[in-house]
């Protein structure tokens, strides 16, 4: 059973794919290059003119690639309706004379819009290690976070720790005296089977 967050993620990806396809269709002229069909966006497909240059299928299910990669890929394609696409693959239509209708101006507008939204969303800052990180993050990566964490050793004998705990009866108070958490004191006392 999917959680509410998983369901929301699925909806977000579906919305993103619809918006991305609309933008890709706009970049390629908004209609079938063979018959001019433009009624239903779901019936418009991208056909690679040279199969050797094809890196991935634009409309394949399960692919969630960056918009910029999709724009690079559609430069190798023509946009056709589903009927014309089937006719091309059955050899009824010759595509050797057809040129892609890729509009560089519209593509650059959409790509700039995406880059602008990315920079607006999150401010960048510098991590302790010198690398870039987002301002709302403590470290630039998990690796960097692990490097900055140093295990703290409690410099006290077991007997002294037991007496101190019996006096306070509070893990947190004892931990504060040594710069560690109450959980660290509790773990050490458990190891001693106290």
Which residues have a Cβ under 8 Å from the Cβ of 73 and sit 6 or more positions away? 46, 54, 55, 56, 58
Residues 95 and 18 both lie in one domain: yes
Higher pLDDT, 148 or 163: 163
Q: Which stretches does DSSP call E strand in 20-178? A: 44-48, 77-81, 124-126, 132-134
Residues 97 and 166 both lie in one domain: no
Q: Is the residue at 182 inside a domain?
A: yes
**Residue 147: per-residue pLDDT:** 63
Residues 93 and 181 both lie in one domain: no
The band of 60, judged by pLDDT with boundaries at 50, 70 and 90, is low
pLDDT in tens, 95-136: 878 887 877 887 778 877 776 666 555 667 777 777 777 776
Q: Is the residue at 24 inside a domain?
A: yes
The mean pLDDT of the chain is 80
Higher pLDDT, 9 or 154: 9
Identify the three-state secondary structure at position 129: coil
Q: Tell me the residue range of the domain where 167 lies.
A: 158-191
Contact 99, 71 (CB under 8 A): no
Q: Is the residue at 52 inside a domain?
A: yes
Count how many domains the chain has.
2
**How much is the pTM?**
0.55
Cβ of 138: how many Cβ atoms within 10 Å?
Answer: 10
Residues 88 and 173 both lie in one domain: no
Q: Is the residue at 73 inside a domain?
A: yes
Half-sphere exposure of residue 151: CA atoms within 13 angstroms, side-chain side: 3
């Amino acid at each position: 059973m999917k959680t509410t967050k998983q369901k929301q993620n699925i909806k977000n990806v579906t919305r993103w794919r619809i918006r991305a396809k609309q933008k890709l269709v706009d970049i390629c002229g908004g209609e079938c290059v063979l018959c001019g069909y433009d009624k239903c966006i779901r019936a418009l497909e991208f056909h690679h003119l040279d199969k050797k240059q094809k890196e991935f299928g634009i409309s394949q299910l399960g692919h969630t690639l960056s918009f910029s990669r999709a724009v690079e890929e559609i430069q190798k394609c023509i946009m056709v309706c589903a009927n014309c696409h089937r006719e091309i693959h059955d050899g009824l239509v010759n595509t050797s004379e057809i040129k892609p209708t890729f509009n560089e101006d519209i593509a650059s507008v959409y790509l700039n819009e995406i880059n602008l939204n990315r920079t607006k969303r999150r401010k960048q800052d510098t991590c302790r290690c010198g690398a870039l990180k987002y301002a709302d993050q403590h470290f630039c990566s998990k690796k960097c976070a692990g490097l900055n964490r140093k295990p703290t050793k409690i410099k006290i004998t077991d007997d002294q720790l037991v007496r101190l705990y019996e006096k306070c009866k509070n893990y947190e108070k004892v931990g504060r005296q040594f710069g560690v958490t109450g959980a660290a004191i509790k773990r050490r006392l458990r190891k001693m089977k106290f």
